[in-house]
Chains A and B, each alone.
Chain A
Amino acid sequence: MRPCELSVIEANKKYINGEFTATQMVNDCIAIAKENENKNAIIEIFDDALEVAEALDNKRASGEKLGKLAGVVVTIKDNILYRGKKATAGSNFMKDFVATYTSTALQKMLDEDAIVLGRTNMDEFACGSDGESSIYGASVNALCDGKIAGGSSGGSAVAVALKMGAVSLGSDAGGSARKPAIYNGVCAIKPTYGTVSRHGLYTLSASFDQVSPIARSVKDLAYVLSIISGNDAFDMTTVTQDTLDFTSEIGGDIKGLTFGVEKNILEKCKGSNVYPEFIKLLDFIKENGGIVKEIEVENVLFAKDVYDVISNSEIASGFGRFDGLKYTTQADDVKNIGELYKKSRAEGFGREVKRRIMVGNHVLTTKGAYQNAKNVSQLIMDNMDKAFMSVDVMLLPTSLSVAPDKGEKYTCEIESTLNVIANVTKLPAVAIPFATNEEKMPYGVSVFADKNKDAKALAVANFIHENYKGGNK
């Protein structure tokens, strides 16, 4: 087996046992990345990756204690800061920006001896779900050249699927890690809001953003999330605990667990390609001792409206920071400061970013609209809390179908609702591939749990991923 094929947990164990060198691992991942350059997943391989690997090999040789990610190669989405490295968020506006500090989540991985291979492609500023709006061009699906990678963390998902690294740090404000993960046949978790510090992650929508790991197994997700999570003085929304463990419940079965299926959402999924596969999965759950319960979460179908109002407002407001004065890009030949702002933004931003800023500013000029949407989000959160009093987890398809062909888009409201509901309610959701169509393209299912019950969602997702025979294994 090539080193790059190892999971996070296996790589760490085998590295500590001396079964390969970090230099071999990095070279192997670089070779895979170069073989798959047409996928446009990694936009920069860091020139010090091999030096870091050599230093780690020396550390091992000297008998020093090795970290939980020693021997593991990581990639990072282009919106996660790593000091001294470019972080452009896939935007022309930030094309020359070099990070002046390292994000908390990544620093925790570096402290455990992870090696960062490079940065991955993404939709501009994470504004997109198809992976096609990057300054670097679109990423290509790992499994089929004719299909999209998904977004906005498309490069990360493709890099993990093709084994350019065992794990990637993506981000998820509305399905941006979960959707590309299942389109490319890998797994992702959007943790409970506040589980992972957002310090050093480009802000898209502060109410919804979370750093989200993407990996080839649920066990790896739980392992990595345990490392990157915890309290951070730089992010006041983080949990109070310094460390958390998401691996403890992994390995159990689902006997006696109650699986909620929200009837209003499922009704809208009827007729989709994923629906019959999802029903078969429910049968599997019953056969394995799980209890499937139809539930109704009042007002849940407003989640997409809430998401659109809040996220666009926060983009419009937050993106005021891109003014042409601070971050590398500044228009020339301007007469005054107003013209400098406008010209810099006109040259720097792509079409989708401009659209969202305009829509957001329209909302913000509508009296009370933003606050009302926040209040409705609380109502949906409260209703979800009530729902989780009678179920252990909730299941929903991650997408109505497999990855679309290039140029094709899913635009119906319910497609977005399936993912944004976790961001609006701040709940954890683990997305896994669970079945395939006749072309062997994966369908995805998301396991939701109550707030701070990420370990439960991971344990159930792991059981399904490892045991369901319809899955893309």
Chain B
Amino acid sequence: MTIEEIKKIAELSMLEFSEEELASFNEEFKVMDEKNARLKGVTLNGVAYKIPVKEYEELREDEVKPSSDRVDTLKNAPKKDSISFILPKVVE
């Protein structure tokens, strides 16, 4: 992979690396490509993944239940006022 392609993955990952660190991912990605290639070579004979979730026969009652406590939740907000998370400006 080129360093530009690795930078694109870093951009998608919302991470920043030095040029040296970026270069080190070349080998990592190569290993993963080899794994993908090996798995692609496995004969599946039509076998497909079955999602392990329960099947419900009926919907639950539409009733009010306790939810997250606002005060508790706001304790974890990096920036907040008395009732809200304060988010940075998005539209410039």
Contact = CB atoms under 8 A, between A and B. Distances in A.
Interface in A338-369: 338, 340-343, 345-346, 349, 354-355, 357-359, 361-363, 365-366, 369
Interface of A: 83-84, 96-98, 100-101, 193-194, 233, 236-238, 240, 299, 302, 305-306, 308-309, 312, 316, 320, 323-330, 334, 336-338, 340-343, 345-346, 349, 354-355, 357-359, 361-363, 365-366, 369, 371-379, 382, 426
Contact of A377 (B9, B49, B60, B69): B49
A328 B72 CA distance: 12
Contact of B39 (A236, A302, A326, A382): A302
B64 interface: no
A299 B42 contact: yes
B76 A362 contact: no
Nearest to B22: A358
A357 B15 contact: yes
Contact of B54 (A193, A236, A379): A236
Nearest to A366: B36
B79 A309 contact: no
Contact of A330 (B25, B48, B60, B78): B78
Interface string B46-58: 0111101110000
B42 A376 contact: yes
Interface in B56-79: 60, 68-69, 72-73, 75-79
13 contacts: A299-B42, A305-B39, A326-B78, A327-B76, A337-B88, A343-B16, A358-B13, A358-B28, A363-B36, A366-B36, A375-B48, A378-B48, A379-B44
Interface residues of B, number: 43
Interface string B23-43: 001001100110110111010
Contact of A98 (B39, B75, B92): B75
Contacts of B14: 320, 323, 338, 341-342, 345
A173 to B, nearest CB: 15
B13 A316 contact: yes
A180 to B, nearest CB: 25
Interface of B: 9-10, 12-17, 25, 28-29, 32-33, 35-36, 38-40, 42, 44, 47-50, 52-54, 60, 68-69, 72-73, 75-79, 85, 87-90, 92
Q: Report, nearest first, the 9 A-B pairs whose CB atoms are least far apart.
A: A330-B78, A374-B49, A305-B35, A100-B72, A341-B14, A236-B53, A378-B49, A369-B36, A379-B47
Contacts, number: 135
Contact of B76 (A100, A237, A238): A100
A367 to B, nearest CB: 10
Nearest to A236: B53
B46 to A, nearest CB: 9
B3 to A, nearest CB: 13
A334 B88 contact: yes
Contacts of B87: 325
Contact of B9 (A325, A336, A358): A358
Of A83, A100, A357, A378, most B-chain CB atoms within 10 Å? A100
